[in-house]
Amino acid sequence: MVQINATATDRSDPAAGLQRLRAGERHRRIGTCLALGVLAVVLLVVAAPPTGSPGATVGAVVVAAVLCLLAVGTWPSEWGDTERVDYELAWIWRQVRADAEHELGWERYAAWAEAVGEEVELQLICCAPIADRVAGAPSPFSRLAVRRLDAEDVEGAAEAMEQLRGEAAEGEWRARERHERAYRPRAGPTTSS
């Protein structure tokens, strides 16, 4: 019996990678909700007896209600189209870039190929520089479909992919140069004594 390594199959299949990511997120959210619920119940049970004060009971009820509201807000929900695309591009970025976790001040690019029906679509994935974001929004990732090739033309697809990788590296190099020029300290006027 052959055992398939899940991580190896995920490397070229965004759908499988996203499914695992989604399942992991769902488990974490459900665990968080359960922990908040248990904490709310424990707080209600423990608050009143030691103090015997109605104020402590009211405070415990208010805090328990807030914990329950947090649990409801944390409960897993289905991803919207924009959120799904963002997670997919982030997953692809981590697959193609060894430095994916580093945030830099310039645009970075990567080439990606994806099967679309009987064709292969070559895409340029872009990660925008660090910007002011609130809870990760707006997404730093974007995707540009560059070219579609017949899936049977393996040699042509490999050649086109190498060309796209070169264009991605060149675009990133230019973006880095622009960034470094913009932030390079300028020499001020010199005075002689």
pLDDT digits (tens, 9 = 90+) for 66-79: 988 888 888 887 77
Q: Examine the domain organization and report whether 24 and 58 are in the same domain.
A: yes
Q: Examine the domain organization and report whether 117 and 146 are in the same domain.
A: yes
- Beta partners for 30? none
Q: Examine the domain organization and report whether 158 and 178 are in the same domain.
A: yes
**Residue after which a domain boundary falls, among 18, 47, 74:** 74
What number of other Cβ atoms are within 10 A of residue 62's Cβ?
Answer: 10
Q: Examine the domain organization and report whether 120 and 149 are in the same domain.
A: yes
What mean pLDDT is predicted for residues 44-63?
Answer: 75
Q: Examine the domain organization and report whether 46 and 85 are in the same domain.
A: no
Q: Examine the domain organization and report whether 48 and 130 are in the same domain.
A: no
Distance in angstroms (rounded) separating the CA atoms of residues 182 and 174: 12
Q: Examine the domain organization and report whether 55 and 93 are in the same domain.
A: no
Does some domain include residue 192?
no
**Residue after which a domain boundary falls, among 56, 74, 92:** 74
In a 13 Å sphere around the CA of 43, the CA atoms on its Cβ side amount to 19
Express as a percent the part of the chain with pLDDT over 90. 18
Domain, as residue range, for 91: 81-183
Task: Give pLDDT tens digits for 105-117.
Answer: 888 999 998 888 8
Report the candidate in 69, 67, 47, 71 with the shortest Cα–Cα distance to residue 59.
Answer: 47
**Residue after which a domain boundary falls, among 39, 74, 109:** 74
pTM for this structure? 0.61
SS3 28: helix
